Amino acid sequence: MFHLSKTSSVSLGVIALLSAGVLTGCSAGSGGASAPASSSATASASSEASSASVALPTDFPKSVPLVDGDVAAANGDANDGWTATVSPKASNGFAGAVAALKKAGFTEQPGATERQATFQDADYSVSVSTPGQSVTYIVSTR
């Protein structure tokens, strides 16, 4: 089951639009070795990614790891929550996103599927989903 906090105003429609926009620019079948993102992936996603990446909001939580890749879309703030869509370098980006969140201490909530999962720690609720290649994060404060 998909849960967002009351403070989050991010709708599922935004996810669909972000995911659809990313899909039009992605090509399936990009191979590559899988490496789970580290807890510093958020910083590296905005500072070391190629010029195709967009910047994460300045207050995007540093404790929320993103899978290694290009940030295709990102917006939000601490009041309303954040969204970020990443085009991962590895073909198994969703699995990498799940592994990175678990490694960072987030607890997976019941109801996860092969394409969507929700995680929580003491401060944040993070929903990750994939329509295929890209990975979309919805982050809200708890």
Task: Enumerate residues 6+ apart whose C-beta is below 8 A from 16.
Answer: none
The pTM of this model reads 0.65
Sheet with 107-108, strands from edge to edge, namely 69-77, 81-88, 135-141, 124-129, 116-120, 107-108
Q: What is the pLDDT of residue 22?
A: 40
Distances (CA, A) of 5 to 17, 23, 48, 53, 100: 21, 27, 31, 28, 22
The tokens describing 133, both together, are 């290649």
DSSP, collapsed to helix, strand or coil, labels residue 15 as helix
The tokens describing 46, both together, are 């905005």
Q: What is the pLDDT of residue 132?
A: 85
Q: What is the pLDDT of residue 15?
A: 41
Q: What is the pLDDT along the chain (142 residues), one digit of tens a residue?
A: 444 444 333 333 344 344 444 443 443 333 333 334 433 344 444 334 344 689 999 999 999 999 999 999 999 999 999 999 999 998 889 999 999 999 999 999 999 999 999 999 999 999 999 988 899 999 999 9
